[in-house]
């Protein structure tokens, strides 16, 4: 993991699930991590668990422009820059009957899953572009590749995030900034709440974190544009 050691990695949604698991693994690999979450209690728990001076945190919402700007400024002040942005924060809610779906549910998903990615990528680029280096990874979903009749709005937001990330790659690859899309299938996290889903067939957050570390451990000249992965048990009858 020599390519991870001492890298400065900004991660959204670090309070639980994929973000928390990835943060702990990156710290163990020698990276410096600056995490953003909406929930202060979750950040406090992560700081206690990590017990590392290579972890910085900021409480804020990726949907809120001033929160995002403040978090990136705090990261630069703490660590001196940013080498990697991991857009991980995301939400999803079922919309089984689109004719009755409330507008605020639509707005919550698009504001987090698309606008949040936009705001964070924009701030990261301000730091990466002058250096002509950097890496922006976005945890999207297989829902950005295949639709689901139970969650059409969630799928639409993930298709939007994937389109945004792909267009960003077209803009910045020539400047030495890498862009990677990560498309996991269902992951066993708090995302599901008490919904009756077969969580035993889902990926674990730690497995997704391992894929993220694999991407980041590659030599600087190696570009991985997209990784799609599932738990094979999800497809077995």
Residue of 34, 154, 159, 202 with catalytic role = 154
For residue 193, give every residue at least 6 positions away whose Cβ sits within 8 Å of its Cβ, in sequence order, or none.
Answer: none
* Phi/psi-derived region of residue 6, left when phi > 0, alpha when psi is between -120 and 50, beta in every other case: left
At a CB cut-off of 8 Å and minimum separation 6, what does 3 contact? 216, 217, 218, 219, 220
Q: Which residue has the tokens 């949040």?
A: 116
DSSP string for residues in 31-61: -EEEEEES-HHHHHHHHHHH--TTEEEEE--
Half-sphere exposure of 192 toward its Cβ, with a 13 Å CA cutoff?
15
Picking from 28, 19, 160, 30, the residue whose alpha carbon sits closest to that of residue 83 is: 30
- Active-site residue flag, 154: yes
From the list 99, 104, 3, the residue with the least C-alpha distance to 63 is 104
Greatest CA separation found in the chain?
Answer: 52
Closest among 179, 162, 161, 160 to 170, alpha carbons compared: 179
Question: Which residues belong to the active site?
Answer: 154
């Amino acid at each position: 993991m020599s390519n991870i050691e001492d890298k400065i990695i900004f991660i959204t949604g670090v309070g639980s699930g994929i973000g928390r698991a990835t943060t702990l693994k990156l710290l163990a690999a020698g990276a410096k991590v600056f995490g953003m979450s909406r929930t202060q209690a979750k950040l406090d728990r992560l700081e206690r668990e990590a017990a590392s001076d290579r972890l910085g945190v900021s409480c804020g919402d990726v949907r809120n422009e001033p929160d995002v700007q403040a978090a990136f400024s705090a990261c630069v002040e703490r660590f001196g820059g940013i080498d990697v942005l991991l857009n991980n924060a995301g939400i999803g809610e079922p919309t089984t009957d689109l004719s009755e779906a409330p507008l605020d549910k639509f707005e919550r998903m698009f504001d987090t899953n698309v606008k949040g990615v936009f705001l964070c990528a924009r701030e990261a680029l301000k730091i990466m572009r002058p250096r002509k280096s950097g890496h922006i990874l976005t945890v999207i979903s297989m829902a950005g590749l295949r639709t689901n009749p139970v969650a059409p709005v969630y799928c639409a937001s993930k298709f939007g995030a994937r389109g945004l990330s792909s267009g960003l790659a077209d803009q910045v690859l020539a400047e030495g900034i890498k862009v990677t899309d990560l498309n996991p299938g269902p992951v066993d996290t708090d995302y599901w709440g008490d919904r009756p889903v077969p969580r035993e067939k889902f990926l674990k957050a730690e497995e997704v974190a391992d894929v993220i570390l694999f991407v980041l451990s590659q030599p600087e000249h190696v570009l991985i544009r997209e990784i799609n992965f599932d738990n094979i048990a999800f497809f077995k009858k």
